[in-house]
Chain A
Amino acid sequence: DARVTQTPRHKVTEMGQEVTMRCQPILGHNTVFWYRQTMMQGLELLAYFRNRAPLDDSGMPKDRFSAEMPDATLATLKIQPSEPRDSAVYFCASGLVRLPDTQYFGPGTRLTVL
């Protein structure tokens, strides 16, 4: 049963600390997406990668967020320094480029910044 995995599942940290979230896409998937979900904003796309290359990171606050794919089995999202307004659930999703496009979501990382 192929699934997207994310670690950690929960993270509580203090303002100003660095946060790193990790995602392992489904084996063979070549597209990885990072989303943030809050009650106020809903599901927002932060960044996405195709074949490990960043395609669009316009949804990310550039001064504090960074996203990378060091290899095909790992995507990372970092926040430095973290702020209370970053508290949200962060989802990673992976998929293949074909019609219909489909994305499979990981379980999410629930981040709380105090």
Chain B
Amino acid sequence: QKEVEQNSGPLSVPEGAIASLNCTYSDRGSQSFFWYRQYSGKSPELIMSIYSNGDKEDGRFTAQLNKASQYVSLLIRDSQPSDSATYLCAGSDRGSTLGRLYFGRGTQLTVWP
């Protein structure tokens, strides 16, 4: 059973702080990882993808992948109240089942002014 585990939170940070979201995965065969943001009552929206060890930066977001530790994280710098949402971590089992994603349960983030 392939699993993605996230710290369930909720996570609360002040505006301007760094929010750190973490995720571990069980399947060493997973090759690609994704962070989705989901506002309350809305659909998940892809914000970051990463498939190589190390860091990937996009604006205020940095995704980090450590395949040896089976660990994925998302850092949000200069957090804004508009970042308040649930963040879903997902791993892709591209090797054998053609691209299906395994989602974690999500971490709820609140950024307070």
Contacts and interface: CB of A to CB of B under 8 A. Distances in A.
Q: Chain B at the A interface: mostly helix, strand, loop or mixed?
A: mixed
Interface of A: 31, 33, 42-43, 45, 48, 50, 55-56, 91, 95, 97, 99-108
Given A42-B106, A105-B43, A106-B43, A99 B51 contact: yes
A97 B44 contact: no
Contacts, number: 54
Nearest to A107: B43
Indicate the member of A31, A42, A56, A91 with the most B CB atoms within 10 Å: A42
Interface in B14-47: 31-32, 34, 36, 42-46
B103 A42 contact: yes
Given A42-B103, A45-B100, A95-B99, 11 more contacts: A33-B100, A43-B103, A56-B100, A100-B49, A100-B51, A101-B101, A102-B34, A102-B46, A105-B44, A107-B43, A108-B43
